[in-house]
Amino acid sequence: MGALLNTADSGEINALDSGEFDVVDANDPTTATALIINQSVSIDGGALHIATMGPLNNLNLDAITINAGPNAIVILRNLVLNGLSGSNRIGIRIVSARSVRIENVKINGYWQSCLEIQASTPVKVDLMNVDLTGCGNGLSVAGTNANVTIHESSLTNNANGIVGTGAGVVVRYADLTQDNTTEITATFGASIANANFSFGEFFTIGTTQIPTLSKWVMILMASLMGMFAFMRLRKS
């Protein structure tokens, strides 16, 4: 993934073909090491193929670490991260970013967590069509202000499905498939709950959810139908 070094801030990296794309260890070109994202970037494995990152050569390494700063926006799409049945620690670790969107990503076989959020500054993480399986924790969230939404995803065959730690942790999910030894663990004030929402219905400004255009149309139609029914009632 040397392309990241040659990508401008807020740039985009696209895989042109399917295949395994590991980060080469400078000290040993025959082995892979961790990918550290330290800027705003979009990494896309491609709409018709998948970019795969294989197992690393160190049990204590994480496949991808996002440490991009409190204003960064990071998007990861169409990726497969393979921890080789517990040979590596974490699939994706989020340390610092303003917003992270993970879409159509499969993570499996990491002994600590498939996805772990340990942010010390506020971060919004959106998961769409994400498969987290065969890890110690499917999703682990801790920190002072982490807001996570999960939609049309699955967490299966993990020791723990979702683990939230701390009063600043908020996790909301819908259309989520779970089959883990322990499904949900919330401690020290963390909030984890099912929510009736759909991606695209709302966008967020600060901590306020604002309806998108499609949601406004639905609200307007409901209002017009109510007004029409009221007028008919008055005429009768």
pLDDT at 30: 47
Q: How far is CA 14 from each of CA 3, 65, 67, 127, 229, rounded to the nearest angstrom?
A: 9, 19, 20, 20, 52
Q: What is the pLDDT of residues 178-223, one digit of tens each?
A: 999 999 999 999 999 988 654 444 444 344 444 544 455 555 666 7
pLDDT at 122: 94
Question: Which SS3 state, helix, strand or coil, does residue 129 take?
Answer: strand
Which residue did the predictor score with more confidence, 35 or 113? 113
pLDDT band at 225 (very low <50, low <70, confident <90, very high): confident
Q: How far is CA 84 from each of CA 39, 55, 80, rounded to the nearest angstrom?
A: 28, 6, 12
User: Strand 208-211 and strand 202-205: pairing?
Assistant: antiparallel
pLDDT at 45: 83
Give the C-alpha separation, 117 to 120, whole Å: 9
- Sign of the CA dihedral with 210 first, then 212, 218, and 219 last: positive
Residue 182 tokens, joined: 């322990």
Residue 170 has pLDDT above 70, yes or no: yes
Average pLDDT, the chain: 78
Residue 235 has pLDDT above 90, yes or no: no
pLDDT at 15: 59
Q: How far is CA 98 from each of CA 69, 73, 185, rounded to the nearest angstrom?
A: 7, 6, 25
Q: What is the pLDDT of residues 106-160, one digit of tens each?
A: 999 999 999 999 988 899 999 999 999 999 999 999 987 899 999 999 999 999 9
Sheet containing 110-119, strands listed edge to edge, beginning at the edge strand earlier in sequence: 35-37, 62-67, 88-96, 110-119, 137-143, 160-165, 182-187
pLDDT at 208: 45
pLDDT at 204: 41
Distance of CA 83 to the CA centre of its chain: 17
Residue 132 tokens, joined: 């987290």
Which residue has 């340390």 as its token pair?
95
Q: Tell me how many degrees the CA angle 223-229-235 measures, rounded to the nearest 5.
A: 135
Residue 71 tokens, joined: 């204003």
- Mean pLDDT in residue range 32-44: 84
Q: What is the pLDDT of residues 57-105, one digit of tens each?
A: 666 778 899 999 999 999 999 988 888 766 688 999 999 999 999 999 9
Identity of the highest mean pLDDT range in 17-21, 24-28, 227-231: 227-231
- Which helix or strand (DSSP H or E) is residue 229 part of? helix 213-235
**Does the global pTM surpass 0.85?**
no
